[in-house]
């Protein structure tokens, strides 16, 4: 997911305190997703957000 965000031009702020997970989070810089992969992943969006939409949030 981190690579998808980066390749989509989005800001990524991963959060972890587990050393192994932090290392995994950095293991996204040796590859890129193809345009077809990016669009296939984007199709998974069901339109349901777990938090406020940053485009419209004014809190």
Which residue do the tokens 């345009």 mark?
35
How much is the average pLDDT of 23-48? 91
* Banded pLDDT at 54 (limits 50, 70, 90): confident
Q: Which two tokens stand for residue 6?
A: 């980066």
How far, rounded to the nearest angstrom, does the alpha carbon of residue 54 sit from its chain's CA centroid? 14
pLDDT tens, position by position, 41-53: 989 988 776 778 7
The C-alpha atoms of residue 28 and residue 24 are separated, in whole angstroms, by 8
- C-alpha distances out from residue 14 to 11, 25, 56, Å: 10, 7, 22
Neighbours of 42 (CB within 10 A): 10
């Amino acid at each position: 997911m981190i690579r998808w965000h980066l390749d989509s031009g989005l800001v990524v702020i991963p959060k972890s305190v587990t050393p192994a997970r932090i290392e995994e989070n950095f293991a996204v810089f040796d590859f890129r997703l193809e345009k077809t992969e990016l669009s296939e992943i984007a199709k998974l969006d069901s339109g349901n957000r777990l938090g406020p939409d940053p485009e419209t949030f004014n809190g």
